Chains A and B, each alone.
Chain A
Amino acid sequence: MNFVDWEGEYALRFLRASLLVTLVTLVTAAGVYLVTESFGGMLVSLPEKITPQSTCPVAGCSASSCHGAAPAPKLVAGQSMRCPKGGCQSMSCHAADRLISHYQSPKDASLNVWIIGLPLFTLAMIAIARYA
């Protein structure tokens, strides 16, 4: 598609392509959601508006003093926290490290750095060997 001559037909083709790509993207995104919902079951639902009564989307906790995405605090008397993965409310959690470490945080050493780094390093070597 050549938009050098930004007139009439080209502008129309660009608009038509934009609408179709947007439509395909939205339909695919809806498909992704439906497929995930069919596998995720009750755990998965559409985004909900945050209200004062909302429970924590990760931990299911409704304590008024929210710890955000930081490590979960020690519970005080009268409070309970449901395990977001197992639905368990036992105080002796067998996967406490999951809660007291962190969630919604990137891993310190992302694998992507290594996967991207290797090809980039190779390309740089080829470029240096060829053009330097």
Chain B
Amino acid sequence: MKIARDLAIVTLLLAIYVIAANPGTTGLLVHEWGSIGVLLVGLLHTILHWDWIIDTLKCFLGKLSASSRSNLVIDVALFVAFIFVFVSGFMVSRHVLLALGYFAPGYFVWKPLHLITAKVLLALILVHAAMHWKWILSALRFKWAKPRFIWENRVEKAVPLSGIQREE
């Protein structure tokens, strides 16, 4: 259940991001409101892994595996890059700010910052996905694995052969 939930959230996050991160294709309206969707789902993703973040932070300077340490560093960088992209995007937004009745000066400061940090964010997302590649593959296998059954002594009781137990 937990794997299915995490997989669903990550898939939703990736789908909204791919749509929102291509304003040249999908348009500014979708880009701006879609980015708010990315923010909300991204924060939910962070909240659901908050325990891991706190546990890893507590052990960061002590005994901790290299993979956990590098994961945390990438995740923190990813979070900061995302906030940079979101704040700069909010300040140059044409639809969201206008809908609120506001405008923000400094377009030629925020715009280059938005473009640069968006590229950094994209690179970090790819690194983040690559570092969790094994989890993604095992989660996909788990999602689509079909349990095999045998009949045992004519008793109508299914016994799973594989080690994978599907949780309902």
Interface residues in chain A, defined as those with a beta carbon under 8 Å from any beta carbon in chain B: 1-4, 13-14, 17-18, 20-22, 25, 28-29, 32-33, 36, 39-40, 43-50, 54, 57-58, 69, 84-85, 103-113, 115-116, 119
Contact = CB atoms under 8 A, between A and B. Distances in A.
B18 A116 contact: yes
B148 interface: no
11 contacts: A3-B48, A17-B48, A22-B43, A28-B79, A45-B104, A46-B104, A47-B102, A47-B103, A48-B105, A115-B119, A115-B122
Nearest to B91: A47
Given A44-B109, A47-B97, A28 B83 contact: yes
Given A1-B51, A18-B47, A36 B107 contact: no
Q: For chain B, what secondary structure do more than half of its interface residues adopt (helix, strand, loop), or is it mixed?
A: helix
A1 B49 contact: yes
B22 A110 contact: yes
Interface in B105-143: 105-111, 113, 118-119, 122-123, 126
A109 B83 contact: no
A1 B50 contact: yes
A21 B25 contact: no
B163 to A, nearest CB: 20
A48 B102 contact: yes
B47 to A, nearest CB: 5
B16 interface: no
A43 B104 CA distance: 10
A57 B43 contact: no
